Structure 1
Amino acid sequence: MLRSSLLTLTRIGSNRLMSTAAKLTTVEVNDKTGIATLTMCRPPVNGLNLELLKDLSQSIDEIESNKSRGLILTSSNPTIFSAGLDILEMYKPDKERIRAFWTSLQDVWLALYGSSVPTAAAINGHSPAGGCLLATSCEYRVMLPKFTIGLNETQLGIVAPKWFMSSFLSVLPRRIAERALNQGRMFTTEEALQVGLIDEVANTKEEAIEKCSAFIGSFAKVNPLARALTKQQFRAADLQQLENERVQDLEKFLFFVNQPAVQKGLGLYLESLKKKAKN
């Protein structure tokens, strides 16, 4: 996971901004705390397409290779954390690109869910489906008011893979998780706090990042290696299951997404989005 990469370093106050040209993410490291903030910045809604997924994977690796004390995931969009998987990747897909897309999504989940550093999500907007996957892959979640979060795949006629469920079950009691997945339920910020899907509420993005930093800072006196190994032991079974079943998981996804009924449903959903945009 710890792969080297070439970085362009720009100093902004007490922070270092690590970036490369045309990236859809930025990584800013606070020199005082050593905590890295990873920001998704793909307009308009941080739809998880192949390019954003590759940038996320690379950025997570950069953070680990630079020995940051922790990772905070957030969004540059003021109302959307991530709208989830980009439907255009799955509608009438190119055979090679759809394979690369799903493989990259697997890579991001393995890197984030299995990260050796403490992770937290500053959820500063709506977080459906894949956005919820990213948030629940982190260890701690702070969300702004009046937004929604959840795995709503069944509402779109899609079945969430087992590893999506693993992230959900690492946060929620099984009974609540199962019912929410079956219903495709989206939780408001208040509901998410009540059931434990998020840990805290903040009024601004800045406050959310501060609360995430405080969570990561709570491990300051804990041995980093012992902490990382403990975390990875908790998550080892989930991570290993996907590693063992990556090929089968990919083939299952390809079979499912190419079903005529699924393609028809995705097409209708895209049409509804176009109508909303016109109105």
Structure 2
Amino acid sequence: MASVRVEIGDGTGEIPAAVAVIRLDRPPMNAINTEVHAELLAAAQQVSADDAVRAVVLYGGEKVFAAGADVKEFAQLDYEAALKGVPRLMLSVNALAAIPKPVIAAVTGYALGGGCEVALTADFRISADTAKWGQPEILLGIIPGMGGSQRLPRLIGPAKAKDLIYTGRFVDAQEALEIGLVDAVVPAAETYSAALATAAKFTTLPALALRAAKAAIDQGLDGDLATGLKLESHLFGSLFATRDREIGLTSFVQNGPGKAVFTGVPGASGE
């Protein structure tokens, strides 16, 4: 039985049309093992390639997002196995981070260790008011190995990231909000619906422009300012070959801002 499911909304059920949900389902705590990594990689590749999907929600269920990596599996690794195997695990979280569409993590219960690292791949994190966050790997004699030491300081700053990583302490939802780890805190029962509603807002916006905006920000942060500005210029110019650029500018001139109805699909201007 699969531990990761992809559900795509068609507008008739709870999931809005054009929204995909990547659902972790490995009870009781959604511990992330090798098989889960492989399934997360496949899920990320699936939603990335599907033009019908315009936004994505990462979700672990009502009780827990993911309490971390499968420690029993880690305990069996020796030095050689870790050097060979752990980099492969990074493929799944990198694929989640590279989804070229808005991604919202809906976090209930625990988002610890690898679970926190999966949530860090999202563009936005909506936290249940009862959720607990943390990178407790130091308490096992190791450090984060799926991006936590890199994505966390980029998100909340190096000093706050060092506090969490050096101590391994958990933070509650309110502190997570205060330090910038999460973007919104809602009652636990509303976490999933809030994430779906947030995702739905992006489904009517120009998909190619959103893709370009995400690439400009994420890839720009990996280099210096000059390189980032060159990337922005390239991506900005490339959007002038899209039908949505023509629709957006024409609608603005004729009807004012915020009234364009975008196609959301590739297609050169005038096609």
* Corresponding residue number in structure 2 for 1:15: none
Q: C-alpha displacement at 1:24, in angstroms?
A: 0.9
Secondary structure of the residue aligned to 1:158 is coil
What is the Cα-based RMSD across aligned positions, in Å?
2.5
Aligned counterpart for 1:234 among listed residues 209, 212, 217: 217
Instruction: Give the gaps of 5 or more residues in structure 1.
Output: 1-21, 241-279
Secondary structure of the residue aligned to 2:130 is coil
Aligned counterpart for 2:57 among listed residues 61, 72, 85: 72
In 2, the alpha carbon distance for the partners of 1:196 and 1:237 equals 20
Q: Structure 1 residues 141, 162: CA separation in 2 closer, same or farther (over 3 Å shift)?
A: closer
Q: C-alpha displacement at 1:112, in angstroms?
A: 1.0
Report if aligned partners of 2:23, 2:59 keep a CA contact under 8 Å in 1. yes
* Structure exhibiting the larger radius of gyration computed from Cα positions: 2
Matched letter for residue 50 of structure 1: T
Secondary structure of the residue aligned to 2:27 is coil
Aligned counterpart for 1:211 among listed residues 194, 206, 228: 194
In 2, the alpha carbon distance for the partners of 1:95 and 1:162 equals 17
Q: C-alpha displacement at 1:145, in angstroms?
A: 2.2
Secondary structure of the residue aligned to 1:171 is helix
Q: C-alpha displacement at 1:69, in angstroms?
A: 1.0
Q: Structure 1 residues 35, 146: CA separation in 2 closer, same or farther (over 3 Å shift)?
A: same
Structure 1 residues 98-157: Cα deviation after superposition (integer angstroms, max 9, x where no partner): 567524421111111111011011101111111100111101111112221011221221
Matched letter for residue 60 of structure 2: S
In 2, the alpha carbon distance for the partners of 1:88 and 1:222 equals 44
User: Percent same amino acid at aligned positions?
Assistant: 24
Secondary structure of the residue aligned to 1:38 is strand
Matched letter for residue 35 of structure 1: V
Structure 1 residues 153-187: Cα deviation after superposition (integer angstroms, max 9, x where no partner): 21221122583222212321332222222222211
Q: C-alpha displacement at 1:209, in angstroms?
A: 2.3
Q: Matches of residues 125-140 of structure 1 in structure 2 within 5 Å?
A: 125-140=109-124
Secondary structure of the residue aligned to 2:156 is coil
* Corresponding residue number in structure 2 for 1:27: 6
Matched letter for residue 77 of structure 2: P
Matched letter for residue 120 of structure 2: T
Report if aligned partners of 1:110, 1:239 keep a CA contact under 8 Å in 2. no
Q: C-alpha displacement at 1:87, in angstroms?
A: 1.1
* Corresponding residue number in structure 1 for 2:99: 115
In 1, the alpha carbon distance for the partners of 2:128 and 2:188 equals 6
More displaced stretch, 27-36 vs 131-140: 27-36
* Corresponding residue number in structure 1 for 2:236: none
Report if aligned partners of 1:126, 1:149 keep a CA contact under 8 Å in 2. yes
* Corresponding residue number in structure 2 for 1:166: 150
Matched letter for residue 113 of structure 2: A
Q: How many residues align?
A: 217
What's the TM-score once normalised by structure 1's chain length?
0.70
In 2, the alpha carbon distance for the partners of 1:217 and 1:92 equals 42
What's the TM-score once normalised by structure 2's chain length?
0.72
In 1, the alpha carbon distance for the partners of 2:150 and 2:81 equals 26
In 2, the alpha carbon distance for the partners of 1:182 and 1:95 equals 22
Report if aligned partners of 1:50, 1:101 keep a CA contact under 8 Å in 2. no
Which runs of 4 or more aligned residues in structure 1 lie more than 6 Å from their structure 2 counterparts after TM superposition? Answer: 94-97, 237-240
Structure 1 residues 7-33: Cα deviation after superposition (integer angstroms, max 9, x where no partner): xxxxxxxxxxxxxxx211111111122
Report if aligned partners of 2:66, 2:111 keep a CA contact under 8 Å in 1. yes
In 2, the alpha carbon distance for the partners of 1:79 and 1:174 equals 30
